């Protein structure tokens, strides 16, 4: 009995010791091997995760500095887990090419990445963000992500289109997008070279200091995305992204926009690359069923377009509604983006654009206004029969349109890769944001219970 007691005591000491281990460097020889925290603790995580690791909903996790999940390793996060980003160290979580994240929350228990600041003291850009790097095709080879500029994404036209970086489902990302250098920030969610084997579904990015979602190449498909009160762009596509994105809700604060000297704020911003090259694969993603709204009030001078399509991008947008006072609605900027539409590389159908000063800029008006495309540029907001509080910035906005709204039946036929819908905008008769989203993360109590 004495020997058994001694053994149990030694085991207890070893478990407690292991539960408090923290790696403080991102060097390969100083790795976080996956701590085993005592239930109900806040565990700091830094450096490299080099063993398969599970983060438990019983605990919370504080990211410090750049945290890297190494190739071949899987990080599993239980439903309901809260992960916080340290402000001082500009914390960020990177899933490297060949690694996986399994963040598979539920409607009742979403997984939350948020600021470590106290309620009432949180701001856009409190921490870095979540970055998934994969091995799918891109029109750049061996490229790096702005801000971090260390990790290499293989890219290239011959990448693995079916590459699998894991699962993000029922996940919230709040107050990310910190500036690492002047005019260089990481987005709320960055997807670089991420393949179609990856699941991205039911993800909300709120108060991002840069873009909410940005795709650099890759073939990943995404569904049910919410971008809430973003500073820069909500959906940004570059480097040959060719996936499909369907059901997106965007709500902007007109008073707040990106003050970066090198850019302006748009709902969508899309490039083939920064120079508008002809490099393949071409940026050709398809977006369907997006609602892009802006709260009431004067519009910040840094706002530009609801959809800024430029630099040889050939993305397509279908069954999408805008009620936002942008200076421009759909802008096909310069000859390449305009020619991509004229030659059928890109398409725009089932679009209703209300409140923009110039609803349509740069498109062939004869083609884009053809009855078969079912577009309504310069639609009247009142005629859309949106809910009375569709663009409120306090609490949850209204979601479902009123009975008799033309949006319920005005949709165009969607191409392959998008689910068939007859409605325009993110919602038909079902509110898919119920339960798991949060439209007041500033005042949410995230203290460890």
The whole-number pLDDT of residue 25 equals 36
Question: pLDDT-derived band of residue 39, with 50, 70 and 90 as boundaries?
Answer: confident
Tell me the per-residue pLDDT of 330-386, one tens digit each, with 9 for 90 and over.
999 999 999 999 999 999 999 999 999 999 999 999 999 999 999 999 999 999 999
The whole-number pLDDT of residue 38 equals 77
Tell me the per-residue pLDDT of 301-334, one tens digit each, with 9 for 90 and over.
999 999 999 999 999 999 999 999 999 999 999 9
Note the Cα 11 to chain centre separation in Å.
Answer: 43
Q: What is the mean pLDDT of residues 245-264?
A: 93
Indicate the helix (H) or strand (E) that contains 15. Answer: helix 2-19
Residues in the chain: 449
- How would you classify the pairing of strands 179-181 and 184-185? antiparallel
Q: Which range among 112-116, 178-182, 248-252, 386-390 shows the weakest confidence by mean pLDDT? A: 178-182
The SS3 call for residue 279 is: coil
Q: What is the mean pLDDT of residues 117-137?
A: 97
Q: What is the DSSP string of 20-46?
A: T------STTS-B----PPTT-EEEEE
What's the mean pLDDT when you consider all of the chain?
92
CATH code of domain 41-408:
2.160.20
Torsion of CA 8, 14, 16, 19, to 10 degrees: -140
Q: What is the DSSP string of 314-374?
A: --EEEEEEEE---SEEEEE-HHHHHHHHHTTSS-EEEEEEES-SEEEESS-HHHHT-GGG-
Question: pLDDT-derived band of residue 262, with 50, 70 and 90 as boundaries?
Answer: confident
Q: What is the mean pLDDT of residues 100-119?
A: 98
Please check the confidence at residue 12 and state whether its pLDDT lies above 50. no
How far is residue 309's CA from residue 312's CA, in Å, rounded to a whole number? 8
The full set of domain ranges for the chain reads: 41-408
Please check the confidence at residue 30 and state whether its pLDDT lies above 60. no
Please check the confidence at residue 197 and state whether its pLDDT lies above 80. yes
Pick from 224, 167, 186: nearest CA to 63: 186
């Amino acid at each position: 009995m004495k020997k058994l007691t001694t053994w149990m005591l030694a085991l207890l000491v070893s478990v407690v010791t292991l539960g408090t281990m923290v790696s403080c460097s991102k060097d390969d020889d100083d790795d976080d091997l996956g701590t085993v925290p005592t239930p109900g603790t806040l565990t700091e995580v830094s450096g490299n995760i080099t063993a398969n690791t599970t983060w438990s909903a019983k605990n919370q996790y504080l990211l410090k500095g750049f945290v890297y999940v190494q190739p071949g390793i899987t990080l599993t996060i239980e439903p309901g887990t809260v992960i916080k980003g340290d402000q001082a160290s500009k914390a960020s979580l990177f899933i490297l090419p060949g690694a996986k994240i399994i963040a598979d929350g539920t409607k009742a228990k979403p997984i939350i990445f948020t600021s470590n600041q106290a309620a009432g003291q949180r701001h856009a850009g409190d921490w870095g963000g979540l970055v998934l790097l994969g091995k799918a095709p891109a029109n750049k080879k061996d490229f790096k992500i702005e801000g971090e500029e260390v990790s290499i994404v293989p890219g290239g036209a011959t990448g693995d289109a079916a590459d699998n970086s894991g699962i993000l489902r029922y996940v919230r990302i709040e107050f990310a997008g910190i500036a690492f250098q002047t005019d260089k920030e990481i987005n709320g969610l960055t997807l670089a070279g991420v393949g179609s084997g990856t699941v991205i579904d039911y993800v909300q990015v709120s108060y991002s200091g840069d873009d909410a979602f940005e795709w650099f190449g890759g073939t990943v498909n995404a569904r049910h995305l919410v971008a809430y009160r973003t500073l820069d762009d909500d959906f940004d596509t570059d480097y040959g992204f060719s996936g499909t994105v369907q059901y997106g809700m965007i709500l902007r604060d007109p008073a707040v926009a990106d003050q970066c000297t090198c850019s302006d704020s748009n709902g969508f911003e899309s490039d083939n690359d920064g120079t508008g090259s002809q490099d393949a694969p071409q940026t050709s993603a398809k977006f369907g069923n997006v609602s892009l709204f802006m709260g009431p009030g004067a519009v910040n001078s840094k706002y530009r377009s609801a959809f800024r399509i430029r630099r040889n991008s050939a993305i397509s947008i279908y069954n999408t509604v805008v009620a936002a006072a942008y200076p421009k609605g759909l802008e096909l900027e310069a000859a390449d983006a305009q020619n991509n539409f004229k030659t059928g590389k890109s398409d725009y159908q089932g679009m209703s654009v209300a409140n923009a000063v110039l609803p349509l800029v740069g498109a062939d008006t004869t083609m884009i206004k053809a009855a078969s495309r079912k577009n309504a540029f310069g639609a009247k907001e009142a005629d859309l029969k949106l809910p009375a509080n569709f663009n409120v910035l306090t609490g949850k906005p209204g979601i479902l349109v009123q009975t008799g709204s033309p949006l319920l039946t005005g949709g165009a036929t969607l191409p392959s890769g998008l689910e068939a819908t007859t409605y325009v905008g993110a919602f038909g008769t079902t509110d898919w944001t119920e339960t798991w989203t949060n439209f007041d993360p500033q005042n949410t109590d995230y203290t460890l219970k």
